[in-house]
Structure 1
């Protein structure tokens, strides 16, 4: 079966200093682990052709399909607050772009496809664990309705990768609306390359924000998207783990699932990433980090906002300072939905905050607590007497909201997932896959595709970890 990918590439038409053309490095013995057939169809690709030997060779990087324009993008970034003037795709290669069934331009990128000029002494490879983690978590985020990159395929390479020990290698085919980051703008700003900043801005506006006018319009649109994105993260207990500016997408997608995690027991200071020693990217700090990252983008855009730096700073600051109010409104919408509230009252923020405080103090499970309020509020509240006073106020608030109970319950069921990618489930899946057993990977994916509607025979996937199963640290895959 002949593989045909309808490439329609645009990023490679930018000046050469935006990237380096480099082909993927072939692997020893590629074999398909998983293919996202529904996503393939959405992209206009033939799933059966992708499963063929020719298709697997392309997904592994052993063959470059006709029309592809493989390249590694360059960018810079603040990593845990520290400036790095040159980063880039060190283990990823953009194959090219396609126009999907909705007319949206999407990138096809291979992660773990070999070294590039930006590998910084790395091998450019990925081991199986982070490939499967990103596949599972990014697809789960999509099922939750949160903007995210997607996973098209995972391929085993038949080659070992050396990290702390020898591990099986793999390649992920990632799909994104683009792979442009705040750090891409920072790269050119650090070099005072105003022409490149302007070209990149024009490209981003045309691709992601058609109809928006100029740098302030683009910045303003991203401020709004980031506010909504982070509010959605907070609503499902998601912790990105590495909110560096090079991991902040210019169109407001969740990108780069490294040491990400979902909370079990709720606490605003929760940190999982093994490299986040100071808690910079803790759950509760994600909104303030988002505005910090947006400020770095604003700084990079100053030369194209106004020739007078002081005027440019004032204009950019005014735009970035919209974030707190936008985020607060988005957060309230998310959490009102989680409590079945469709209307608005000024005291709602306090009602929500007091529930979260009780949950933190009692170590309640974040996902299961909200789901219990959805499915069996009386039973849940009877076992948590500390919530008695709060529950009376919530009940009164529901009465004032005016909607009938069935409507309120339906709203809560749409806002409160029954199942998330529990960290211990993800780790169990990875451990099994390393031993050649992919059944837990496929089962976990199957359950997470319908996060709001958990079948009774899959109820164990909603259970929090037992003490011996608890995952306290997550790790980057590099």
Structure 2
């Protein structure tokens, strides 16, 4: 059997300044440890063939499949607020694009496939731990209904990478609507290459915003489209307690997908100031800062597009500011609507936002678990005697006072208790990739070559809104000695 990828290569058809042609670096002994079979089928690929030794060689970067045109994409970026004019794919190679069963063009990229011209003295490789983390979290985000890159496969290389110690090397096969970032536009803006900016913008519109092709001012509309998608994305992050951890402009996708799962994490106890990333020493990318940072990143995109808006700088800036001004309302509308759903409100009334904020304030003060508080609140909606939500609070009386007002408010709506509970359970997950569980899975794989915990965890996370009583322990927050206080980038 021959592995066949029906590749197209629209990005590598752009000018040479957009990328560097580079093949993956062959590895010693590739072994497939996980194939996402449903995703393979969605992409029009044969999972049985991908699971052969030949498939493993491709997914680990040892063999380049027919039709691929491997490239490392060029981009720049603001990293923790500091501009770096040249970054680029330093450890990833885009093999090509396929059209999936829904007619959507998808990039297929190998991450950890060896050095490229953008590696900046790095080895271009990935350790097994970060590969498993990205597989787990990206697929969990997909199951939660949040726009995200996907993970098609994880493979070990039979080689070690050197970080603080020698670690097993691995390659992740990542799938994305595209890998174009705010930083891709910045790469050309800093070089004052307006023709390249226009070429890139036209490519993005055709690929991600085809409804704008006939717009009177397509570049204005493009910025507006990216603003809307990013505002919606960050609202969705906050609604599940997700912290990206490294929201640099080179990690901000133009398509509106979550990309680059480095030191990411999900909160246990609710804390708006929560930071996990070991490199975010000042809390720039803390949980509650994410909307502000998203707007900051979008402002950097707007700066890149100004030459396409108008030759009159003042008019261009004014229009960009007007478009960016929509972010706040779009984010707030999505976030508040999501919060209303999380507490079982189907309509909007005066006082709802205050009711929700009072719950969040009480949760923060009482170190209530973010995920379980909302999930167990759904139980209380169906059975007022259920007290598991109350048990999340250090001072249960704080919950009691709020719950009284909540029951008064829900009584004003026509839905039955069962309808309300079902609706709340449909938006409040039981299972998330809790940090201590992710770390336990990684340690079993790295230390013992045992992927059974990984397989089970991925299986549970694929159904985050279902009860799954056989796996109830996966919903438990960490014990004090299990808490993960820092997450790491892995590069």
Partner of 1:366: 370
- Structure 2 match to 1:477: 490
Question: Structure 1 length normalisation: TM-score?
Answer: 0.99
Cα deviation digits, residues 176-206 of structure 1 (max 9, x gap): 0000000000110111000000000000000
CA distance in 2, matches of 1:79, 1:322: 25
8 Å CA contact retained: 1:41, 1:47: yes
- Range 394-403 or range 136-145, more displaced: 394-403
Which residue does the alignment assign to 1:462? 475
1:381 CA drift (Å): 5.3
Counterparts of 2:366 and 2:407, CA distance in 1: 21
Match of 1:395 among 407, 411, 426: 407
Matches within 5 A, 1:152-191: 152-191=152-191
Distance 1:381 1:53, change over 3 A: closer
Classify the secondary structure of the residue corresponding to 2:97: strand
1:279 aligned residue:
283
Q: Does 2:343 align with 1:339?
A: yes
Tell me what 1:308 maps to.
312
Q: Offset of 1:406 from its aligned partner?
A: 1.9
Contact 2:59 2:171 in 1 (8 A): yes
Counterpart position of 1:320: 324
Residue 250 of structure 2 is matched in structure 1 by: 246
The structural deviation recorded for 1:35 is 0.2
Q: Is the 8 A contact 1:125 1:169 kept in 2?
A: yes
Superposition deviation, residue 403 in structure 1: 2.0
Aligned to 2:230: 226
Match of 1:11 in 2: 11
Cα separation, 1, equivalents of 2:226 and 2:423: 27
TM-score scaled by length of structure 2: 0.96
Cα distance in 2 for partners of 1:164, 1:382 equals 43
* Gapped regions of structure 1 (runs ≥ 5): none
- Residue equivalent to 2:425: 413
Matches for 1:89-104 after TM superposition, within 5 Å: 89-104=89-104
- Aligned partner of residue 411 in structure 1, secondary structure: helix
Q: Does 1:145 align with 2:145?
A: yes
Q: Give the structure 2 partner of residue 424 of structure 1.
A: 436
Contact conserved, 1:447 with 1:454, CA < 8 A, in 2? no
Asked if 2 retains the 8 angstrom alpha-carbon contact of 1:381 and 1:388, the reply is: no
Q: Secondary structure at the match of 1:379?
A: coil
Structure-2 residue corresponding to 1:23: 23
Corresponding residue for 1:436? 449
Distance 1:87 1:331 in 2: 33
Number of matched residues? 478
Answer yes or no: is the 8 Å Cα contact 1:381–1:391 preserved in 2. Answer: no
Partner of 1:107: 107
The superposition leaves residues 285-333 of structure 1 with CA deviations (integer Å, 9 ceiling, x where unpaired) of 0010011111010011001111111100000000001101110000011
CA shift at 1:382, angstroms? Answer: 5.0
Cα pair distance change 1:382/1:420, threshold 3 Å: closer
- For 1:388 and 1:425, how far apart are their aligned partners in 2? 31
Offset, 1:420 = 0.2
For structure 2, which runs of at least 5 residues remain unmatched after alignment? none
Q: Which moved more, 1:241-250 or 1:338-347?
A: 338-347
Q: What do you get for the CA RMSD once the two structures are aligned? A: 0.9
